[in-house]
Amino acid sequence: MSLFWFLGFPILFVFLFGIIFGGMGDSSPLVLGIVFQGGVLEQGGIALCEENPAFRCVQEDLASSLEALKQGKRDVVIVFDGEGIRLSYHPERIDRAHLVAGYIQRFFLEERLRALGAWSNIPPVRLEAVEVPHFRQIDYFLPGVLAMALMQLGLFGSLDFVSLRERKIIRQLGATPLPKRWLLGSEIVVRMIIAFVQTGVIITAGWVFFRVRLPHALVPLFAWILFGSATFVSLGYCLVSLVRTVESAEGIIQMVQFPMMFLSGIFFPPEMMPETLRLVMKLLPLSYFGDALRKAMVDIPTQFGLSTDFLVLLGWLCGSFVLALRFWRWE
């Protein structure tokens, strides 16, 4: 069961995000519905489609074409009738309609100029794409999913301990000279090993199924993984030191992890958040961990700077460790 939560669940997440966001950010040709209703422009229309590889044209009748448009299967429907050319478009895709309209006008202008023999005087316009690193949405999300999985591993991992504590098993340790900090330290080390495995699984799943970029430098990535998971394990123990039972421990952990999940810029980029929520985001350790992992995993530029990420997480790690020991319970 716990194997599922530690290994299966993250893979499920990778799948979910891969399916939702995997395709986004890719460029695909515009799909045009072409409807001919007689008239002189038919020849030109066919030539228009053949000439431009950025268009994929589907010739059909008006009704089915409009239906496909409403379903989002066509970007623009072009109707050639006796009087001229009419473009139908989905209100959300007005930009594409303008693009196509501009292209059509240029195409027919060119035809006319050529017919007049004036074409050669017009200087050619060339399009050239600049080389930039190309991030797909999934590249952005995968480090976030990893950060979230490690956060959950850390926080929920402490529940095992609470259960042992509630069954009075930990109490037995309280009667021995075992120092609390060793016990807490060993728990953190065990969770870090699990975090290692979990990270391997998530990265492999992301690469195998969705060809997410592989991290270029493993050492800094794994250093961040260990550091971040230690922080959240420590935070988990700090939280469960404050409550008695497994039920209330689950409650307090949910209370902390739920806002963190949604307000740390993992599911929504910060630009989408209102000003106040962005302030909240700056208070959450997961924001900094996700930020650092995005940089370490897929080289996305950091938002806060790696040294800020490090200092904030270090603060949370030390603070929660001290508080966990301060409010420690043997039973």
Partner 1 sequence: MMGKILPSRRCEKAREEGAKSVSAIVVQELRKYYGTVKAVDGVSFTVEQGEIFGLLGPNGAGKTTTVETSIGLLPRDGGEVRILGHDPQEEPLVVKSQVGVQLQMAQFFPRLSVLETIRLFGSFYPRKRKEKEVLALVGLEEKAHALVEKLSGGQLKRLSVGLALVGEVDILFLDEPTSGLDPQSRRNLWETILWLQREGKTIFLTTHYLDEAEKLCHRVAIIDHGRIIALGKPKDLIAEHFVEKAIEIPLDEVEDGREFPPLQSVTKTERDAENLTLYTVDLAATFAELGRYAEEQKLSLRNVVVREATLEDVFLKLTGRRIRD
Q: Contact between 168 and partner 1 (CB under 8 A)?
A: yes
Quick note: the x/- pattern for partner 1 over 215-234, rule CB under 8 A, is --------------------
| Strand, helix or coil for residue 274 | coil
Q: In the structure encoding, which two tokens stand for residue 105, read together?
A: 């006008």
Q: Contact between 169 and partner 1 (CB under 8 A)?
A: yes
Contact set for partner 1, span 240-269 (CB under 8 A): none
Torsion of CA 313, 316, 321, 323, to 10 degrees: 180
Instruction: Quote the CA–CA distance of 86 and 192 in Å, as a whole number.
Output: 63
DSSP 81: -
Q: In the structure encoding, which two tokens stand for residue 93, read together?
A: 């895709």
**Binding segment (CB under 8 A) for partner 1, from list 60-68, 167-175, 210-218, 319-327:** 167-175
Closer CB to partner 1, residue 169 or residue 217?
169
Measured in residues, the chain has a length of 331
Q: Contact between 167 and partner 1 (CB under 8 A)?
A: yes
Q: Which of 327, 308, 329, 331 is nearest to 319 (CA)?
A: 327
Instruction: Quote the CA–CA distance of 68 and 74 in Å, as a whole number.
Output: 6
Closer CB to partner 1, residue 141 or residue 161?
161
Q: Contact between 98 and partner 1 (CB under 8 A)?
A: no
Q: Contact between 1 and partner 1 (CB under 8 A)?
A: no
**Binding segment (CB under 8 A) for partner 1, from list 2-10, 71-79, 163-171, 212-220:** 163-171
Q: Contact between 176 and partner 1 (CB under 8 A)?
A: yes
Closer CB to partner 1, residue 2 or residue 204?
2
Sole binder of partner 1 in the list 177, 271, 276, 307 (CB under 8 A) = 177
- Residue 189 CB, shortest distance to partner 1, in Å, is 15
- Residue 184 CB, shortest distance to partner 1, in Å, is 15
- Residue 154 CB, shortest distance to partner 1, in Å, is 22
The 3-class SS string of 152-165 reads HHHHHHHHHHHHHH
290: buried, middle or exposed (CB in 10 Å: 19+, 13-18, 0-12)?
Answer: buried
- Residue 141 CB, shortest distance to partner 1, in Å, is 38
Quick note: the x/- pattern for partner 1 over 119-158, rule CB under 8 A, is ----------------------------------------
Sign of CA dihedral 224, 229, 234, 236: positive
Q: Which residues contact 266 (CB under 8 A, 6 or more apart)?
A: 141, 144, 145, 147, 148, 286, 290
Q: Contact between 181 and partner 1 (CB under 8 A)?
A: no
- Residue 183 CB, shortest distance to partner 1, in Å, is 10
Helix residue ranges, H only, the chain: 2-3, 9-21, 42-51, 62-70, 94-116, 137-166, 169-174, 180-210, 218-241, 246-263, 275-283, 285-298, 306-326
Number of residues that bind partner 1 (CB under 8 A): 14
Q: Contact between 178 and partner 1 (CB under 8 A)?
A: yes
- Residue 137 CB, shortest distance to partner 1, in Å, is 43
- Residue 247 CB, shortest distance to partner 1, in Å, is 19
Q: Contact between 179 and partner 1 (CB under 8 A)?
A: yes
Instruction: Quote the CA–CA distance of 114 and 103 in Å, as a whole number.
Output: 16
What residues make contact with partner 1 under the rule CB under 8 A? 164, 167-169, 171-179, 330
